[in-house]
Amino acid sequence: MLVEDNKKILEGNAEKFKREGYQVACAPNIEEARKFLSVNRPDIIVLDINLPDGSGVDLAKEMRQGGKASVPILFLTGLAAPGDIIRGLKAGGDDYLTKPYNFDELFARVSAVIRRYSSVPEVINKGGLSIDVAAGVARYGSKDLLLTKKEYALLLIFIQNEECFIKADYLYEKVWNAPMGNDNSALKGAIKRLRAKLEGCGWSIGWYRGEGYIFQEA
């Protein structure tokens, strides 16, 4: 789905994606996008921010809080300041590309985001630990681990990278959608709480100086 008020860009991108084998839905504003999303679930939304009837950032927030939380979003916009990029990612964007742009790069980014989402199964099982990806819930047996959104996001990254070292700044950027900077207290606190909730589940989160965090069997 393409949400773009510039008719030339909208029609041009739609035609190019169709030539690459995609089915394409177009919306010139937020109202039309909402109508489409009320009855459809696209594989990805390429979303402008400055739209005639509102902000694409607000639409992304609505989707993340509502029934379309699992639809990937790639922002395509002329807003290129670091603060704009951070706001877009914090609102739920999976990627952010600024105008002017090269279509080959846009196509590559869209394809990459779709691959990431399609590679995640609806339910991930690790022994007695079960992750319901669609519902955003982690359980051990029949027990809900009652993870916060940040804890759940961390656990999903760990499970997808089992037995691999992961740097703290990578985890922070993926979960908080912003650079970590010099303060990693939020990340440490979330991992500490996650470790406590995983006790007895057969899995642990280790940390090794110079290597990073690792999700491994306890």
Class of domain 123-217: mainly alpha
Kindly report the pTM of this predicted structure. 0.58
Q: What is the mean pLDDT of residues 13-30?
A: 94
Q: How many CA atoms lie within 13 A of 107 on its CB side?
A: 14
Radius of gyration of the chain (CA): 19
**CA geometry: angle at 178 spanning 212 and 167, to 5°?**
10
Which tens digit of pLDDT belongs to each residue from 70-108?
A: 789 999 999 999 999 999 999 999 999 999 999 999 999
Which tens digit of pLDDT belongs to each residue from 122-155?
A: 688 888 888 887 678 899 998 999 999 899 989 9
pLDDT of amino acid 174: 81
Reply yes or no on whether the pLDDT at 204 is more than 80: yes
Domain ranges of the chain: 2-118, 123-217
d(CA 56, CA 66): 15
* pLDDT tier for residue 119 given thresholds of 50, 70 and 90: low
CATH of domain 2-118: 3.40.50.2300
pLDDT of amino acid 88: 95
What's the helix, strand, coil split of the chain in %, to 5? 40, 20, 35
Provide the β-strand partners of residue 55. 50
